[in-house]
Structure 1
């Protein structure tokens, strides 16, 4: 059997799975940012008419997946599998949403790398002939994440400048086995990288080495150069982590003019999010809202989306453990 694999960590999809449809639903903070015009739905409050933030996040995910299906002219039962994840304990947002859809479900946890992980696995299922249509979702909510990982927002705890603002939003996608439009051509599966960083309020510094490792490995596996991509975009290192990543790439003699980050794009400096955006929903809504539209317009033809995740838990962090991190990358091409 011939392996559909390049080098150590990169998968080559020969059947070329494609993104058929997508949808993004975001909160009010994201709706005040520079990408507001690209989102499908913007809530005017973070509760979304629900009694708790956790229920609101589940509503975000369910609505965005239903909207993506509606755009494709499909029903939930048309999906062979649903792949989804979020930041909450036992990925409860994804679990409840999958229960409402009633289709075979893979629950994913990759922290902020969940969207890239989901698209990569959707590609595996389709390229392997196990599925014709796969739904993928990734969500986060500022208030649910703060309550779980740091402090209840009601306390008004002052955030350090290294902190990022967790995006309230969900991006959902339908990936199918027909080669057209937005193609997922390759995926580079990341390794856990732990440099001993322990500050839970500085995710960018913790995750940047994992992003560098995946980008460098991808280029080695494929024999490509960094400028073979119109855009290499992480999701989401924020301002501090993006600067560290660029320094690491420059030390390898790489030009970083085409390197950006979803956490930088989603908010404006005037919104005072400190180091930018974060959360599973960050790269999901930036891709579903902004990046795919830029590809459709011809601004980008080939993107390497590198989802970065800090795989800490509240327990491990409070016990003084370091933060293991990972970065998964998917190559998106438009024709």
Structure 2
């Protein structure tokens, strides 16, 4: 029997339980409005390492280990790791997970990587190919600025549309059995490119992909925004969220207060000077793991649509004047019933 519903959505037969979730962040993230929710906080951005890139791998290593610990699992009990980051060749992830000796799929979905990892992990679980999957994503502000824009020592002024790449790692353990929120549907996004070339305006580059994903999901499932307790895009910030609301309104959908963005939730723009908000692979990853997962676990959130978003650019494509393609991946996650045993 086919699990497909509509053009881009699948409904899982059994679903995938989110058995545990963990988040490890840098100091700026820990000082933000979600600071009390994060599991681990580094004292500085270098995290005791010699380079930003090595620090990112340490965020991955420490957080993946914690995620396994919270699930009461040993590495040998996990069938696959799926994760990725923004660094060239995904070395942040590769060097961070190499000591676990778990079969590994390295992913690149830019800032949508957490959605990609959770989607593919849930499919592996539901398809009978795995019992436990460790899925995550990481990023680092200093490393990302050096790679995609300008090295920090230059002191380049950031425009109002710029977002702040989140430093940290978020990860989940997906399981065939157990207690926890469950991934029940996946809407896989397609590349949408509206010709944006400004590497300092990620919200504008990614918003059309998020809007396309939302419209497709509603068409595939027959639902509306009001059928969800929370809809959270990943990394659009204030600029991108406004564009999504505008685009969905033109399509006949009202995106009300239940729609938020992880890039808005993670920083306080008035006190932290992050301009348009947060972005980066870790933005949606740590926000989901630290802030939304506990609310799904407690039953406060009954049904959530989680949509990490990504800008599929590289330093080379930007230097050659190419536009920035956008992508978004959506997951429907059902929370635990209130009062249920965790």
Q: Deviations over 1:206-234 (max 9, x none)?
A: 11000000011011111111111011110
Whether the aligned pair in 2 keeps the contact of 1:17 and 1:179 (CA below 8 Å) is: no
Cα distance, 1:8 vs. partner? 0.5
- The separation in 2 between residues aligned to 1:74 and 1:181, in whole angstroms, is 15
**SS state at 1:288 partner:** helix
**SS state at 1:178 partner:** coil
Whether the aligned pair in 2 keeps the contact of 1:77 and 1:103 (CA below 8 Å) is: yes
Show the counterpart of 1:160: 159
Cα distance, 1:154 vs. partner? 1.3
- The separation in 2 between residues aligned to 1:294 and 1:153, in whole angstroms, is 36
Cα distance, 1:179 vs. partner? 5.5
Whether the aligned pair in 2 keeps the contact of 1:162 and 1:202 (CA below 8 Å) is: yes
- The separation in 2 between residues aligned to 1:105 and 1:75, in whole angstroms, is 16
Show the counterpart of 1:267: 267
- The separation in 2 between residues aligned to 1:237 and 1:196, in whole angstroms, is 17
Whether the aligned pair in 2 keeps the contact of 1:167 and 1:279 (CA below 8 Å) is: yes
Show the counterpart of 2:339: none
Show the counterpart of 1:125: 124
Alignment of 1:1-335 (within 5 A): 2-178=1-177, 180-257=179-256, 258-269=258-269, 270-335=271-336
Q: Deviations over 1:219-261 (max 9, x none)?
A: 1111111111011110010000000000111122222112110
Cα distance, 1:333 vs. partner? 0.7
Q: Deviations over 1:16-70 (max 9, x none)?
A: 1111011100000001100001000111200011111100000001110100101
- The separation in 2 between residues aligned to 1:150 and 1:299, in whole angstroms, is 40
- The separation in 1 between residues aligned to 2:330 and 2:61, in whole angstroms, is 25
Unaligned runs of 5+ residues in structure 1 are none
- The separation in 2 between residues aligned to 1:98 and 1:4, in whole angstroms, is 32
- The separation in 2 between residues aligned to 1:287 and 1:329, in whole angstroms, is 13
- The separation in 1 between residues aligned to 2:48 and 2:225, in whole angstroms, is 45
Whether the aligned pair in 2 keeps the contact of 1:15 and 1:179 (CA below 8 Å) is: no
Q: Deviations over 1:94-139 (max 9, x none)?
A: 1112311111111000001000000000111011100000001100
Deviates more, 1:318-327 or 1:96-105: 96-105
- The separation in 1 between residues aligned to 2:196 and 2:298, in whole angstroms, is 40
**SS state at 1:328 partner:** strand
Count of residue correspondences: 334
**SS state at 2:121 partner:** helix
**SS state at 2:138 partner:** strand
- The separation in 1 between residues aligned to 2:6 and 2:182, in whole angstroms, is 21
Q: Give TM-score scaled by structure 1 length.
A: 0.98
Cα distance, 1:82 vs. partner? 0.4
Q: Give TM-score scaled by structure 2 length.
A: 0.96
- The separation in 2 between residues aligned to 1:260 and 1:244, in whole angstroms, is 13
- The separation in 2 between residues aligned to 1:208 and 1:299, in whole angstroms, is 28
Unaligned runs of 5+ residues in structure 2 are 337-342
Whether the aligned pair in 1 keeps the contact of 2:19 and 2:178 (CA below 8 Å) is: no
- The separation in 2 between residues aligned to 1:4 and 1:296, in whole angstroms, is 26
Whether the aligned pair in 2 keeps the contact of 1:210 and 1:326 (CA below 8 Å) is: yes
**SS state at 1:180 partner:** coil
Cα distance, 1:295 vs. partner? 2.1
- The separation in 2 between residues aligned to 1:296 and 1:184, in whole angstroms, is 12
Cα distance, 1:297 vs. partner? 3.6
